[in-house]
Structure 1
Amino acid sequence: MKKRILAAVLAVVLAGTMTACGSSTKKETSDSNGSKGKVTLKFAHTVPSGTATAECIQRFCDEVSEESDGRLVIECYPDSQLGDDDEICDQIYNGAQMLDYVDPAKMEDYYADYSILVTPYFFESADEIKEFAWSDLGQELSDGCAEAGMKCLDNMGGYYGARDIMSMKEIHTPSDMKNMKFRVPTTTMWVAMADAWKTNATTVSFSEVYTALSQGVCDAVENPVPSMLTASFQEVCDYLNLTHHMYAANGIVMNNSVFEGLDEDMQELLIKKAKEFDDWTFEEISAEEEEAVQTMKEDGVIINDNVDIDAFKEASASIYDTYKGWSDDLVERCQSTLADIRNK
């Protein structure tokens, strides 16, 4: 509760450039946005500058501002300038005129069903992400999240990269990670993954991971390789273990009442550009991933591609039995939708 109250206060401060700020109701948002002049939104995110993802976010902001003829201006704040994802999402939920680019697990406090997308090995390839996002079930999940107050402009159809593990020692199976201090994001689903692999989950902010690795606070970290390269983890980790435990879906989120308060053509523009953004991420990140692995190798990191993927899948399967936050039939419906995608 204290966290929600603090987020609400921060939301008002950060929305100070708006005519009316902090409202989470459609009526008040419409009064401040409506068709009366320029609307300014802040795209606050934690993606490191210089990565393909950060460049795609900046392009999204620029093109929305340009194609709206200045009616909808989006200011970009990368590198956790306005807080971490938990803080930003809480501000958005409380009515801040902001956007963020997050993984589905960050929605679990608002709409738990979305977190199933970050179950290890949920997607078998990056191509499945967009197909699932715009399937009937993908749209249903997005609509449910909007009803809960958080609008996902692209139905979690963005590609953040294949997630792998950097560590102080070589990892072949989950047993190699037993009792390892494993840094994961601060959400229930990520901690559930760490628990399934018998590690000790360590939930430090991404901006603090380098120091945590240097000081032995954590022994391993997972993320897309380009993000870990930009964060210079190759300076403090000896191994890059290609677990590919997640083809990471991400999405652009904002407050649903803020979205509905925009003119209809501005709503359509945001969704159109969000879909284009997803196309950019697929193209740019796929190329960036290959280059990042090669750079890691040149920097002296040992690239371990001898990972027992089946062992990791088997260890991860317990999450479906232990996690209690999803709708009763969600697992079966997801499996059915993915089977249809794979059988095309």
Structure 2
Amino acid sequence: MLKGFNVWRKKQFVRLAAGMVACACGISLMGCGAAGGAGKNSGSSGAGGAGNSGGAANTAAVNPGDDYHAELKLAHIMPIDHPNGLGAEEFARLVKEKTDGHVTVSVFPASQLGNEKEIFDAVEIGSIDFAIIGFGEPAKKYQDIGILDAPYIAGDREHLVRILNSDVVYSMFDEMEGHMGAKGIGAFYYGARYLTTKDKLVSGPEDMKGLNIRVPDQKLYIDTLTAMGAVATPMAFSEVFLSLQQGVIDGQENPLATIAANKFDQVQHYLIKTEHIMGANALYASTKTLESMPEAYRTAVLEAAREASAWIDGKAFEAEDTYIEQLEANGMEVIEDVDKEAFREMTAYIYDDFDQELVNKIRAVE
């Protein structure tokens, strides 16, 4: 069973009991914010899914004959064919399968319901049930979780996945609820972040001076690119392509999947292998949504989250291996001769912002 279930279950027992009484009285809980069919109008229901993850069986504790039903919403900012977008559909498929259709999840991709901040704010108040975003927004209220975005935290992508699946990370997910109205229920590889520019070849910190580089509006990203020597420029993701095209910014940094899916190769020439952040994303759930569910359905959703996360890892690995060839074929010049050690040294002070016991625990994951 998933890490943290028992601890979380004990913490929520009293509130869960009340929710189950309400359910027994015939209340059909339609999911926070899903009433009125909002999830049906423009979101994908995940029917057919993003593929098959091995035909997971329905969770045994779910009773196909009961009258509990919930229609829930998941939002993210990526295109539907991005690994995150495909993973969202896979999560929806798994939830439907594991709950025998009693719980359905409609997926709203490509910033349909807002940017990362707007989506996460909505998850906290329960008007959106699930979100796939990074760690930056949650870190504004719970700083510890931001360590997963710290520069050069993992040696490679396999190492990062081991960190994401560790007890350390799932303990932090449990702790989140003490700081906000949401918790992480799955984490997965997003991709090593590459720098892109239109005109400036970058091979070390000295080449970064004066470059306006778009970053997410989150402290750790701003601090990291500033430490690397750039002028870090926060900007909503939906504005990036046009800003690159018009020369408002000189470059941006993102994983290969994001660079390819959003066609940044059309407005950038250099693809620079800084790999300054070994990026990850997470699937977050509204506390209100989780508390509204009978235990068996909540367990099924949490199981689906872990399985979908592993599915996304595989999809992201597979896709990443093809992206460089694709971007090169589209005209980008790949710069592999990068002084990563210099960048590592320049960004090392960022770890001073975190609890050193936590830093040591993360670094102990092999």
TM-score interval, smaller chain: 0.7 to 0.9
Per-residue deviation, residues 136-193 of structure 1 (Å, max 9, x unmatched): 3223211111222211112xx2111111111122111122111210100111111111
User: TM-score under structure 1 normalisation?
Assistant: 0.84
Q: Which of 72-81 and 128-137 deviates more?
A: 128-137
1:9 equivalent in structure 2:
none
- Residue pairs, 1:99-248, within 5 angstroms: 99-148=130-179, 149-154=181-186, 157-168=187-198, 169-248=200-279
Q: Which amino acid aligns with 2:123?
A: I
Asked whether the equivalents of residues 168 and 361 of structure 2 are also in contact (C-alpha less than 8 Å), the reply is no
Asked whether the equivalents of residues 122 and 246 of structure 1 are also in contact (C-alpha less than 8 Å), the reply is yes
Distance in structure 2 (CA, Å) of the matches to 1:77 and 1:310? 40
Per-residue deviation, residues 2-57 of structure 1 (Å, max 9, x unmatched): xxxxxxxxxx99544389xxxxxxxxxxxxxxx85311111011011212221121
Residue in structure 1 matching 2:360, options 335, 338, 341: 335
User: TM-score under structure 2 normalisation?
Assistant: 0.79
1:289 equivalent in structure 2:
320
Per-residue deviation, residues 225-282 of structure 1 (Å, max 9, x unmatched): 1211121111111100011112212111021132122111111111211111121112
1:249 equivalent in structure 2:
280
Q: Which of 72-81 and 266-275 deviates more?
A: 266-275
Per-residue deviation, residues 318-338 of structure 1 (Å, max 9, x unmatched): 2223x4xx4xxx234323442
Residues 301 and 97 from structure 1, CA distance in 2 versus in 1: closer, same or farther, beyond 3 angstroms?
closer
Asked whether the equivalents of residues 164 and 243 of structure 1 are also in contact (C-alpha less than 8 Å), the reply is yes
Distance in structure 2 (CA, Å) of the matches to 1:141 and 1:338? 15
Per-residue deviation, residues 296-321 of structure 1 (Å, max 9, x unmatched): 11111101111111011011112223
Distance in structure 2 (CA, Å) of the matches to 1:16 and 1:336? 42
> Is 2:292 the counterpart of 1:273?
no
Distance in structure 2 (CA, Å) of the matches to 1:103 and 1:15? 23
Percent of matched pairs sharing the same residue = 28
Distance in structure 2 (CA, Å) of the matches to 1:15 and 1:69? 19
Asked whether the equivalents of residues 75 and 131 of structure 2 are also in contact (C-alpha less than 8 Å), the reply is yes
Structure 2: state its 5+ residue gaps.
1-30, 39-65
Residues 337 and 50 from structure 1, CA distance in 2 versus in 1: closer, same or farther, beyond 3 angstroms?
closer
Q: How many residues align?
A: 307
Tell me which structure has the larger Cα radius of gyration: 2
2:11 equivalent in structure 1:
none
Distance in structure 2 (CA, Å) of the matches to 1:265 and 1:210? 44
- Residue pairs, 1:80-99, within 5 angstroms: 80-99=111-130
Distance in structure 2 (CA, Å) of the matches to 1:63 and 1:95? 21
Distance in structure 2 (CA, Å) of the matches to 1:41 and 1:175? 49
Asked whether the equivalents of residues 194 and 200 of structure 1 are also in contact (C-alpha less than 8 Å), the reply is yes
Distance in structure 1 (CA, Å) of the matches to 2:232 and 2:126? 32
Q: Secondary structure at the match of 2:252?
A: strand
Asked whether the equivalents of residues 119 and 128 of structure 2 are also in contact (C-alpha less than 8 Å), the reply is no
Q: Over the residues paired in the alignment, what is the CA RMSD in angstroms?
A: 2.0
Deviation at 1:117, TM superposition (A): 1.0
Q: Which amino acid aligns with 2:195?
A: I
Q: Secondary structure at the match of 2:159?
A: helix
Deviation at 1:110, TM superposition (A): 2.6
1:58 equivalent in structure 2:
89
Q: Secondary structure at the match of 2:277?
A: strand
Q: Which amino acid aligns with 1:338?
A: R
Residues 203 and 72 from structure 1, CA distance in 2 versus in 1: closer, same or farther, beyond 3 angstroms?
same
Asked whether the equivalents of residues 146 and 152 of structure 1 are also in contact (C-alpha less than 8 Å), the reply is no
Could you list the structure 1 runs, at least 4 aligned residues long, displaced by more than 6 angstroms after superposition. none
Asked whether the equivalents of residues 215 and 234 of structure 2 are also in contact (C-alpha less than 8 Å), the reply is yes
Asked whether the equivalents of residues 163 and 244 of structure 1 are also in contact (C-alpha less than 8 Å), the reply is yes
